[in-house]
Homo-oligomer: A and B are copies of this chain.
Amino acid sequence: MKLKIKDIDISSGGPLIAVMNRGDAALLDLHVMDRIKIKRGKKIETVVLDIAESDEIIPKGKIGVFEEVIRSIKLKNNDEVKIIPARKPLSLDFIKKKLDGYELSKKEINQIVWDIVHNKLSAVELTYFVAACYMHVMSSRETILLTKAMVEHGDTLNIARYPIIDKHCIGGIPGNRTTLIVVPIIAAAGYTMPKTSSRSITSPAGTADTMEVLANVTFPLKKMKEIIMKTNACIVWGGSLNLAPADDKIIAVERPLEIDAESQLLASIMAKKHSVSSTHILIDIPGGKDAKVKSKNAALKLKTEFEKIGKKLKKHIRVIITDGNQPIGNGIGPALEARDVLWLLKRDPRKPIDLEKKCLMMCARIFEMIGIKDGYKKSLEILDSGKAYSKMIEIIKAQGGKEIAAEDIKIGKYSYDIISKKSGISKNIDNQVISRISRIAGAPHDKGAGLYLYKHVGDKIKKGDKLFTIYSESKHEFAFAVEFAKTNNGFVVS
C-alpha cells in the first residue's frame, strides 16, 4: 500500500509511531499497536501503528508520522511511502513471560534491550516490562544479564589502565557536589577516573550542570578518551554519550509512579560504570526522610545487592551509607555550587566544611579499595598542597574551559535574603523545599540561579539571622521564588 506522509509535527518522546486512517488500516487488517514497515527509497523503518479516530486528522491515503520517524527515514510532508505489515517485536512475548513470573534467558533479555534501544516498543509495552521487573524482582542472574545487555547495546570506553576508579551517588540531596572534589584528588594522586555524570531532572543541578559552569561537558566518546589519557580523568555529561542508552528510556517510564525497580536501579548504575570499564567503584547511598533511600534497612539491603552484583561482574565495590537529611555544601544551583567547589579546592576560608569532610572520607574509602593506607590524610595533603586544584584546572582546560576565580563566576543579579523569624537551633532543613525554591528561581536552566545557605542543621540561629539568599537571573522567576520562600523556607527552628 502506498500512502503520503503527513508530518504531525510532534515528538512521541521516544517510540517510532505512525498513524493511519481507519479505512487504510482495515485494508491491511491492522490494529492499534501493530507494527508496519515504512519504506521510502532504500530507507526502511519498522514503527508502531496508531489509528486515527477521525478522517479529518488523517485522511485516507495519508499516514501521519511523529518526529522520531521523520528523523529516522528523513521524510517530509507528502513524500510517498510504501507500507508493509510487519511482525510484532519478539520481545513482547518475553515481556509477557516476565509478567507471568518466569525468569528470562540471556537471549530474551538481549532482545528486550535491543528493542528498547531501537525505539521499537510503545510506552505501554515498555511499562509492562518495568512493572513486571518491579513486581517479579529480577534474580541476580537476570540483573547481571540486563546490565551486560545494556552495555552491549551501546558504546563502551576502553582504556588499557588499571585500576579505573568510579563513584556514584544515589542522589536526591541538594548541593552534594562531591564528584568535582573527589575526581581531581584521585586524578592528582595518579589514578584514572573517567567520570560521567547526569544533568538535573528534578533537582536544582546535576553534576554535569555544575561542571558546565567551568568547562564543556558534552563530548563524543573519542574526545572523552583523549581528555582522560591527558589528565587521568574527566567530568562529562553521560547523556550525550551512547553508554547504556536503554537505561534512560526505562527511567522515563518509571518516573510517573516514582517506581524504583530495585533490579533496574542496580542494572542502570552498574551498566553506566561497566560501559566505561571501571574496576573500583564507590557507591554513596545518602539516607534520610527526603532522600531517595529512606530507611537504614533499605540502605543496607541495597548495599548487599550492590556488593553481590559487583562481585559477579568482577568489580570491586564499596558502598557507604551517608547522612542525607540536609543539603551538603552552601551553594545550591550550578554557579553557586561551582563557586563552592573552587573555594574548596583553592583552600579559601569560605569553603563548605561539610562538603570537604564528606569528600575526604570518600577519597579515603577509594584509596582503601586500591590498597593505599592513610587515604584521608593523603587526600587532605593533595588538597592543601594545591595539587587537586591544579588537576581540576588541567581537566577544565582539557574540556575547553579556562581558569576562573571563584568570585568571577556569574551569580544571578536579583537577590533576596530569607531571614529567620525565630531564635533557636536549626532542627531540620527540608531538602525538597530547598530544591524547589532553587528551581523556581531558575536553576538549573539559568546557571546563576539558586540559593546560598548560611545555616545547616544544628546551627544556632538568632531572630533576624539570614537563613539563605535567593539568586535569580530573571525578574519574573525571582518574584515566583521569593513568594514561594516566604510561605515556606524549609527550616525548622526551635
Contact = CB atoms under 8 A, between A and B. Distances in A.
A8 B258 CA distance: 29
Interface stretch (A127-135, A322-330, A418-426): A127-135
A29 B440 contact: yes
A64 interface: yes
A19 B10 contact: yes
Interface in A435-453: 436, 439-440, 442, 445
A436 B29 contact: yes
Interface residues of A, number: 54
Interface string A185-225: 00000000000000001100000000000000000000000
Contacts of A96: 257-259
Contacts of A135: 99, 101, 131-132, 135-136
Interface string A436-480: 100110100100000000000000000000000000000011001
B125 A124 contact: no
A451 to B, nearest CB: 14
A356 interface: no
A108 interface: no
Interface stretch (A47-55, A161-169, A375-383): A47-55
Nearest to A26: B445
A309 B131 CA distance: 27
A12 to B, nearest CB: 10
Given A57-B11, A135-B131, A253 B124 contact: yes
A122 interface: yes
A257 B9 contact: no
A322 to B, nearest CB: 26
Contacts of A11: 52-54, 57
B125 A128 contact: no
A99 B33 contact: no
A145 interface: no
A256 interface: yes
A201 B22 CA distance: 12
Contacts of A401: none
A51 to B, nearest CB: 9
B259 A99 contact: yes
A480 B24 CA distance: 13
Interface in A95-126: 95-96, 99, 101, 122-125
A31 B202 contact: yes
B439 A29 contact: yes
A27 interface: yes
Contacts of A252: 32
A80 interface: no
A255 interface: yes
B257 A23 contact: no
A99 B134 contact: yes
A67 interface: yes
B33 A256 contact: yes
A73 interface: no
Contact of A255 (B9, B23, B31, B253): B31
A26 B125 contact: no
A136 B256 CA distance: 20
A33 B442 CA distance: 20
A400 interface: no
A99 B131 contact: yes
A476 B31 contact: no
B29 A95 contact: no
B50 A13 contact: yes
Given A11-B54, A31-B201, A99-B135, 7 more contacts: A8-B10, A10-B19, A31-B202, A53-B67, A57-B67, A125-B256, A131-B132
14 contacts: A8-B9, A10-B64, A29-B440, A31-B202, A32-B256, A57-B67, A96-B258, A123-B123, A124-B256, A125-B257, A127-B127, A128-B131, A128-B256, A131-B135
Interface of A: 8-11, 13, 19, 22-23, 26-27, 29, 31-33, 50, 52-54, 57, 64, 67, 92, 95-96, 99, 101, 122-125, 127-128, 131-132, 134-136, 201-202, 252-253, 255-259, 436, 439-440, 442, 445, 476-477, 480
Sort A-B residue pairs by CB-CB distance and give the 7 closest, nearest first.
A131-B131, A127-B127, A33-B256, A135-B135, A29-B439, A124-B127, A11-B53
